[in-house]
Chains A and B, each alone.
Chain A
Amino acid sequence: MQAEEQDKMNEWVRLTSTDGYDFLVKRKVAMGSGTLRNSLSAESSFSEALSNTCHINERAVIVEKLCEYLSYKSLYDGAKKNEEIPDFQDRVQPEISLELLVAADYYDV
């Protein structure tokens, strides 16, 4: 059971943006988002769960930043205290900060 879970986690999921871009991330990474987790859960009957594709209602720039944060989070979340973690704040451009705020709030990131 666990092994299956692991395999599942290694699967790729596709996140699509409104302007036609697709982003592929590991399922494990996508699970960092509460909303996506719900969408992709196997138990749900959402179509996303079946096709491993999630449509995100944002511009590609925002989706890309979301994926970036999700990767960052899955990499460093739970890291030991003495580990050096790069700061993510510099990677948020002020121009997109408000839009990203809306998206981050919606996707519970």
Chain B
Amino acid sequence: MHAESEPGGRKLPTLVQYCQRVASAHVNSFERLGEGWPEELIRPILNSCSAETLWRLEEQDPYIGAYTDDIWETICQKAYPTLFQPLEHSGSETWKDEFARCKEEHEMRLEKAAANLREKRQRDEERRKETSIKITDQLPPPKRARWGGPAPPKTLFQKTRSEAAKLQKGVFGARMARQSFQRRTVVSNAASAKPPPPATSSSSASGSRVIVRTVTVPRKPPPANASGSAPVRAGTGARMSAVPPASIPAAAPAASPPAASPPASSPPPMPKSPDDRSLPPPPLRPPQKKNPASALFMPKHRAYSQLPRGVQSKS
């Protein structure tokens, strides 16, 4: 009837116990305990608090220091097991002091290790900086001396040839505008990055490094009587040379067969001109079957080494 529990019944935890449990769980959030706590009430709570919390609570209410010596012992053992030595003191030094000492020592070691690490890292950084890329405003020394050098004097013939070639290809920009024509004459040579050599060299026959690229001249095939003039001849020859020897038959313009025949040979282009006449002029040719893949490999621009940069050529 009263608060006595019936026999066989369960005993509930008391409110004191409940409160202690909850307080222990949250003790690290407590700022201070307040005055007048009896030890038996507060001990279970203090047992479960961290070193910082215990320190703080003792600062606020020093009287609890009376009950906390063995708590400090436990804390010390757990935190610094390596530095732990059984207290051989006379009783004047408490575990709290021991804890403070251990903490200091630990911090010192940490600081030393950190300093070492910092120093090492700095040394590594400096070493790395020495080998890293630096910003400077000085030009690097030229890789190699100009290999052009004083070229051997050109003969008149060579000069004429090179001038004609330069005229032929015209201004860079003007040449670009005629790309579409270039397509027509089609060149499906995968290796067209290289200068179409043998055909060209056969027509220019100068051994000069000026490569004449094809330009389809949209005019009637020049009659053989014009073959006397070098530019026209070069033009015709150029047209011929537009078709490299290895062209795909399907893509080859009608003019190719004659040009394809021994390109390496150096007969003058003159015999080819009559053939030209017999054929329909290029612009009126039916559009050739082009291998669409050929466009992939056809570079629009010259290779870097082929660009006219006024380099003195070795003749």
Contacts and interface: CB of A to CB of B under 8 A. Distances in A.
B15 A104 contact: yes
A20 interface: no
B23 A97 contact: yes
A68 to B, nearest CB: 10
Nearest to B16: A104
Interface string B28-69: 011001100010010000000000000000000000000000
Of the candidates B3, B12, B14, B29, the one having the most CB atoms from chain A within 10 angstroms of its own CB is B3
Given A78-B10, A81-B10, A97-B23, A31 B3 contact: yes
B2 A31 contact: yes
Contact of A76 (B2, B12, B23): B12
B30 A98 contact: yes
A9 interface: yes
Contacts of B41: 101-102, 105
A101 B12 contact: no
B22 A89 contact: yes
A100 B22 CA distance: 11
B119 to A, nearest CB: 47
Nearest to B19: A101
Of the candidates B8, B9, B15, B38, the one having the most CB atoms from chain A within 10 angstroms of its own CB is B15
Nearest to B24: A97
Interface of B: 1-3, 5-6, 8-16, 18-23, 25-26, 29-30, 33-34, 38, 41
Given A73-B12, A85-B12, A97-B26, 20 more contacts: A33-B3, A72-B12, A77-B9, A77-B11, A78-B5, A78-B10, A80-B10, A81-B10, A88-B15, A94-B22, A94-B23, A94-B26, A97-B19, A98-B19, A98-B23, A98-B34, A100-B15, A101-B19, A102-B41, A104-B18
